[in-house]
């Protein structure tokens, strides 16, 4: 009978403990990061009245007869289910979504404690602390590397009040852009200016700019007209250029001894050979005339024979009845006829002598190999500087006598060929420009190029002050700019200009590069010292092949550190991760640099990895520290010390420390707190269950007491 009393008492005690546990759960329903617990009941030892027996013969086995002696609370289980995450207005509040604990220390890292409550703040000394004043542990930014090393030992997170960041000089500029490889471009600039010169005596010298530097004027084959359409010049395409109309007049040849030069009455025949453009000769011969023919009759007969061949020779003839002379003229107006007058006269019968031989027009052919030939009847060019030089060679010595006139040919700031005839020399003449296209076997007309060039067709009398202009020659261009910083944090604009200069069918396109900074800054040792030239070459699939220079040495000349090395990052060779050259508009899709001026800390935010990112008044943001997180093998084995603090125990396992969102640790949500995981409806229901259990155990005691009363009554 007494055993039932003791069983009831143990039940009361067990349910009292369960009541205490549930009361604690309900009390912490609003405690940040709290994890509720439950009491685990177990029975006590049982008194054995009879042991179990095995079956024997015809008699079956018997179960043991045992009487339990009550219950006890054998353990407590803490439930680490996820609490709801509630947003807050405090940017240093953090919540863990998933497994893991923040690490805090009350003694500067000598001992560690753990918490799920992320209500953190900065104290007066810049320590990152919880509500107990314990300092949050993690990793700090390494000033040498500028990074937070999460592989180092954890330490107190401290961000000094009034933190400033010193200026960082730019060490790298990264550019990602496309340079248009197509036949039509939207971004283009005039060809570089090329002044008049050098003289024909030095035809192989390069054109020089005002500083005496050679001008890289670019390949005309990859240039564009005024509307951005590519010329796409092919080998031997080009133009005929004449600076004057050829006029050859028969002034000699007294072939009959009558003392009169020119066309005589009764002359036997006219015999002239024209050497054509292709090197062949075309002979014009008239049959013998009658001795009774007049001068005019013979002159008309000769002129008719010459003009009958104009479509082939390009030469027309006229007869002057006063002087009895034939005049041969070539205006170079027909692209299909011969443009050169190189004749051989039969002096016995023609009335013309060999000293009257004359060349009026010259071929200017495109040669992509760059072997320019500015002299001779057949000229070649690659760049607009080559073309300008060859034209000036012809213009200044058009008659080939080696004496020079003052005719000037230049490329102006609009990319136009400019021709002037200022006079001042005995060799000057009235310029009559005639430009037509080369059309011959195997060579087609380049209509865009001839359109640009034929705008020069005009008459420029000696010392008239007039000028002739071609249409603009343009190069595909693109530019990008970015501000870079010196060691003092001063800002300077770094400009990169790209200009298409060549195309190789086998390898790809080449673009010239001009890097510049504002004066008095310098990036080169030769004038102009604030500019540096280079090139960018692409493969024929549009990927980057190579570029130069890979870096520049920048000196701001303002007291900052000199020879600042700035690496230029245009991408990886044979890849598409930087600069490319496709048939699409030139554009810059990304440009960045790693320098900045000094600044003051104006705010801190925390990202999902637990990194405290500082925002500075200079517009820069970078990680100042990172919150460490610990993970345990057995979370339920952790002990509690109050103040939302857990401590390691023998059954929790050692903490595995690392960063958030790695190795099974949860990620961190900023400006939020994890609420208690107590389910109030479950807790209140559990209260009813505990209450009924307690009442039932109390009833066991009172019922046992009544039985004892009956037992005592038997004695009476």
The 10s digit of each residue's pLDDT in 171-213 is 999 999 999 999 999 999 999 888 987 644 334 444 444 444 4
Q: What is the mean pLDDT of the chain?
A: 87
Give residue 254's pLDDT. 41
Q: Of 325, 356, 387, which marks where a domain is finished?
A: 356
Domain extent, residue 298, equals 246-356
Question: Which DSSP symbol is given to 208?
Answer: B
The answer to whether residue 40 sits within a structural domain is yes
Angle between helices 680-713 and 2-27 (to 10 degrees): 160
Same-domain pairing of 379 and 238: yes
Same-domain pairing of 522 and 545: yes
Give residue 709's pLDDT. 86
Give residue 251's pLDDT. 44
Q: What is the pLDDT of residues 627-667, one digit of tens each?
A: 999 999 999 999 999 999 999 999 999 999 999 999 999 99
Instruction: Please state which of the ranges 136-150, 221-235, 373-387 shows the lowest mean pLDDT.
Output: 373-387
Residue 151 pLDDT > 90, yes or no? yes
Give the mean pLDDT of 139-164: 93
The answer to whether residue 91 sits within a structural domain is no
Give residue 57's pLDDT. 87
The answer to whether residue 59 sits within a structural domain is yes
Q: How confident is the model at residue 321 (pLDDT cuts 50, 70, 90)?
A: confident
**712 CB burial (10 A radius; 0-12, 13-18, 19+):** exposed
Give the mean pLDDT of 318-340: 74
What residue ranges in 352-411 does DSSP mark as E strands?
361-366, 378-381, 408-411
Residue 358 pLDDT > 70, yes or no? no
Three-state SS string over 616-684 comes to ECCCCEEEEEEECEEECCCHHHCEEEECCEEECCCCCCCCEEECCCCCCECEEEECEEECCCCCHHHHH
Please tell me whether the peptide bond between 645 and the residue prior to it is cis, using omega within 30 degrees of 0.
no
The answer to whether residue 207 sits within a structural domain is no
Residue 168 pLDDT > 70, yes or no? yes
Residue 549 pLDDT > 90, yes or no? yes
Q: How confident is the model at residue 555 (pLDDT cuts 50, 70, 90)?
A: very high
Higher pLDDT: 175 or 294? It is 175
Query: CB of 678 within 8 A of CB of 29?
Result: yes
Give residue 298's pLDDT. 74
Give residue 336's pLDDT. 73
In angstroms, the CA 573 to CA 137 distance is: 44
Same-domain pairing of 384 and 235: yes
Question: Please, which residues have CB within 8 angstroms of residue 538's CB and are 6 or more apart in sequence?
Answer: 179, 181, 508, 509, 510, 511, 544, 545, 579, 580, 581
Give the mean pLDDT of 249-277: 53
Same-domain pairing of 347 and 257: yes
The answer to whether residue 539 sits within a structural domain is yes
Give residue 303's pLDDT. 82
Higher pLDDT: 22 or 244? It is 22
Same-domain pairing of 237 and 371: yes
The total of other beta-carbon atoms located within 10 Å of residue 86's CB is 12
Query: CB of 479 within 8 A of CB of 498?
Result: yes
In angstroms, the CA 244 to CA 405 distance is: 13
Same-domain pairing of 463 and 451: yes
Higher pLDDT: 576 or 339? It is 576
Q: Of 434, 469, 504, which marks where a domain is finished?
A: 469
The answer to whether residue 590 sits within a structural domain is yes
Give residue 211's pLDDT. 44
The answer to whether residue 200 sits within a structural domain is no
Same-domain pairing of 234 and 365: yes
Give the mean pLDDT of 323-334: 73
Give residue 116's pLDDT. 97
Q: What is the pLDDT of residues 17-65, one digit of tens each?
A: 999 999 999 999 999 999 999 999 999 988 888 899 999 989 999 999 9
Residue 261 pLDDT > 60, yes or no? no
**495 CB burial (10 A radius; 0-12, 13-18, 19+):** middle
Q: Of 578, 597, 616, which marks where a domain is finished?
A: 597
Residue 614 pLDDT > 90, yes or no? yes
Q: What is the pLDDT of residues 408-453, one digit of tens each?
A: 999 999 999 999 999 999 889 999 898 888 888 889 999 999 999 9
The answer to whether residue 256 sits within a structural domain is yes
Higher pLDDT: 433 or 402? It is 433
Query: CB of 676 within 8 A of CB of 66?
Result: no
Please tell me whether the peptide bond between 198 and the residue prior to it is cis, using omega within 30 degrees of 0.
yes
CATH number of the domain to which 324 belongs: 2.60.40
In the block, residue with structure tokens 């020119």: 262
Give residue 47's pLDDT. 86
Looking at the 3D structure of the chain, how many domains does it have? 5
Same-domain pairing of 643 and 701: no
Same-domain pairing of 490 and 449: no
Write b or e for each residue in 352-361: b if 16 or more Cβ atoms lie within 10 A of its Cβ, otherwise e: beeebebbbb
Same-domain pairing of 581 and 543: yes
Give the mean pLDDT of 596-625: 93
Higher pLDDT: 254 or 414? It is 414
Same-domain pairing of 376 and 465: yes
Same-domain pairing of 373 and 384: yes
Between the ranges 61-65, 95-99, 298-302, where is the mean pLDDT highest? 95-99
């Amino acid at each position: 009978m007494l055993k039932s009393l003791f069983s009831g008492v143990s039940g009361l005690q067990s349910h009292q403990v369960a009541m205490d546990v549930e009361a604690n759960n309900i009390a912490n329903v609003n405690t940040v990061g709290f994890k509720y617990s439950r009491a685990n009941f177990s029975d006590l030892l049982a008194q054995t009245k009879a042991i179990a027996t095995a079956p024997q013969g015809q008699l079956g086995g018997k179960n043991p007869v045992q009487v339990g002696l009550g219950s006890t609370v054998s353990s407590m289980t803490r439930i680490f289910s996820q609490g709801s995450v509630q947003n807050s207005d405090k940017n240093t509040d953090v919540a863990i979504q998933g497994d893991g604990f923040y690490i805090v220390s009350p003694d500067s890292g000598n001992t560690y404690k753990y918490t799920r409550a992320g209500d953190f703040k900065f104290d007066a000394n810049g320590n990152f602390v919880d509500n107990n004043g314990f300092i949050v542990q993690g990793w700090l930014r390494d000033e040498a590397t500028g990074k937070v090393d999460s592989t180092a030992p954890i330490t107190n997170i401290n961000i000094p009040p009034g933190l400033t960041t010193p200026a960082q000089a730019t060490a790298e500029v990264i550019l990602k852009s496309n340079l248009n490889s197509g036949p039509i471009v939207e971004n283009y600039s005039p060809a570089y200016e090329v002044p008049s010169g050098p003289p024909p005596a030095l035809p192989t010298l390069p054109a020089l700019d005002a500083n005496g530097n050679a001008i890289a004027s670019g390949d005309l084959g990859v240039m564009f007209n005024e509307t951005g359409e590519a010329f796409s010049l092919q080998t031997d395409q080009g133009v005929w250029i004449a600076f004057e109309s050829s006029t050859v007049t028969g002034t000699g040849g007294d072939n009959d001894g009558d003392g009169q030069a020119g066309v005589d009455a009764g002359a036997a025949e006219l015999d002239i050979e024209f050497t054509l453009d292709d090197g062949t000769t075309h002979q014009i011969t008239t049959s013998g005339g009658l001795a009774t023919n007049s001068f005019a009759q013979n002159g008309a007969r000769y002129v008719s024979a010459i003009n009958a061949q104009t479509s082939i020779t390009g030469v027309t003839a006229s007869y002057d009845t006063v002087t009895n002379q034939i005049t041969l003229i070539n205006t170079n107006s027909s692209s299909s006829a011969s443009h050169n007058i190189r004749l051989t006269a039969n002096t016995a019968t023609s009335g013309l002598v060999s000293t009257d031989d004359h060349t009026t027009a010259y071929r200017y052919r495109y040669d992509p190999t760059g072997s320019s030939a500015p002299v001779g009847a057949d000229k070649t060019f690659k760049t607009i500087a080559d073309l300008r030089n060859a034209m000036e060679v012809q213009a200044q010595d058009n008659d080939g006598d080696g004496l020079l006139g003052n005719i000037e040919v230049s490329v102006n700031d609009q990319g136009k060929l400019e021709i002037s005839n200022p006079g001042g020399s005995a060799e000057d003449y009235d310029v009559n420009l005639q430009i037509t296209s080369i059309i011959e076997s195997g060579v087609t007309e380049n209509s865009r190029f001839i359109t640009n060039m034929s705008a020069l067709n005009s008459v420029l009398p000696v010392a008239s002050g007039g000028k002739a202009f071609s249409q603009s020659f343009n190069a595909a261009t693109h530019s990008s700019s970015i501000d870079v910083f010196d060691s003092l944090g001063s800002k300077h604009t770094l400009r990169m200009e790209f200009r298409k200069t060549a195309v190789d069918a086998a390898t790809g396109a080449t673009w010239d590069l001009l890097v510049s900074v504002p004066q008095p800054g310098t990036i080169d040792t030769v004038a102009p010292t604030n500019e540096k030239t280079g090139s960018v070459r692409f493969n024929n699939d549009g990927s980057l092949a190579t570029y130069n220079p890979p870096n520049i040495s920048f000196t701001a000349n303002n007291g900052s550190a000199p020879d600042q090395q700035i690496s230029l990052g245009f991408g990886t060779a044979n890849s598409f991760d930087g600069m490319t050259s496709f048939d699409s508009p030139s554009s810059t899709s990304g440009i960045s640099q790693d320098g900045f001026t000094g600044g003051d800390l104006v705010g801190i935010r925390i990202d999902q990895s637990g990194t405290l990112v500082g925002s500075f008044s200079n517009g820069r943001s970078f990680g100042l520290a990172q919150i460490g997180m610990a993970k345990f093998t057995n979370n339920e084995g952790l002990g509690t010390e109050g103040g939302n603090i857990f401590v390691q125990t023998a059954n929790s396992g050692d903490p595995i420390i690392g960063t958030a969102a790695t190795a099974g640790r949860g990620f961190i949500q900023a400006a939020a707190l994890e609420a208690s995981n107590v389910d109030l409806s479950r807790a209140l229901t559990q209260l009813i269950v505990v209450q009924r259990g307690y009442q039932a155990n109390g009833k066991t005691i009172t019922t046992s007491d009544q039985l004892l009363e009956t037992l005592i009554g038997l004695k009476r």
